[in-house]
Amino acid sequence: MIRSLQHVGMTVPDLEVGRAFYEAVGLQARMAGEHLVMRCKGRAQDQVRLIPGAEKQLSYVAFGTDAQGMHAIRESLSYHGVVLHPAPFEIGSEGLWFRDPSGDWVHVSESESMPAGHLPTPELNTPGRYRRIGERGCTPTSRLRRVTPLRLGHLIKFTSDINRSIAFYTQVLGMKVSDRAGDAVAFLRCGCGGDHHVLGLAKSTHSGLHHLSFEVMDIDEIQLGAQHLMSLGYESAFGLGRHVAGSNYFHYIRDPWNSLIEYFWDIDVIPEDCEWEAIDGTPQDVTAVWAASPPPETFIKNFEVARDD
């Protein structure tokens, strides 16, 4: 039923701090009423919406589906007794608003995921397949390359009950589990197939945002983007490395409110009819094949304050 991740809304205490950070990440910012909206270059789709408020918190997650999916979701929400609400945020898009088991707002609209504006194929020399011949892959100016993410690929958010949240997103919204580590973390993909995960769920005492993940062109862009952010004073949190869950290369950077953004490249894609065998192991089993250093103890910490509602 759910077919795509559209964008994520966050409440933050200072929009200009958010603008500076996300423009450094490589996104383009514009005001939409009182909100600050970020898009990836060449992609006609909101990716992050910052809402002014007293404290930073995850506000909502917006998903897309087609007309058939909207009908099925309406019926499923009604069958499972999920209450529909008036729009808690003005985001310029019609659709359904409801809360998940963590109390987080979810928005579903009839929306397609827009194509990225620039997708040249990297010229990679690999064993038995040499394509870049008589041409340098890197020059002294390669380090000056400015990273502009292609899209928001996924998010991971915290929940106090992994199993209840998995049941909600799979049974009510039609997603599928790609991999998990017991009740510590789970990775969910759209039922129609696609990226290994568009939504991850991590165990905590309360809800909150762990990270937003942006796809870039190659492993060079992961590090160039991370190094640019670090040169501006933002903290490296984990990476460079390669995950097991999703197989993607990664580097995580702390945002101004102690959540994370991830640059990623080369994620597993799972077709709708694929007989995918999900891993269910320990957190170490799904975290990384390798990494420049182990994840710090704070990597999985939820820095958001628990909400009263």
Q: What pLDDT digit, counting tens, does each position of 265-288 carry?
A: 999 999 999 999 999 999 999 999
Arithmetic mean of pLDDT over the chain: 95
- Position 123 scores a pLDDT of 79
- Position 308 scores a pLDDT of 78
> pLDDT 10s per residue in the chain (309 long)?
999 999 999 999 999 999 999 999 999 999 999 999 999 999 999 999 999 999 999 999 999 999 999 999 999 999 999 999 999 999 998 999 999 999 999 999 999 887 766 566 677 898 999 988 999 989 999 888 899 999 999 999 999 999 999 999 999 999 999 999 999 999 999 999 999 999 999 999 999 999 999 999 999 999 999 999 999 999 999 999 999 999 999 999 999 999 999 999 999 999 999 999 999 999 999 999 999 999 999 999 999 999 877
d(CA 264, CA 56): 24
- Position 114 scores a pLDDT of 77
- Position 117 scores a pLDDT of 60
CATH 3.10.180.10 fits 4-114+148-300, yes or no: yes
Whole-structure pTM value? 0.96
Q: What pLDDT digit, counting tens, does each position of 95-119 carry?
A: 999 999 999 999 999 998 877 665 6
- Position 103 scores a pLDDT of 97
Contacts of residue 85, defined as CB under 8 A and 6 or more positions apart, other chains included, come to 97, 98, 99
- Position 145 scores a pLDDT of 85
Q: What pLDDT digit, counting tens, does each position of 49-71 carry?
A: 999 999 999 999 999 999 999 99
- Position 116 scores a pLDDT of 66
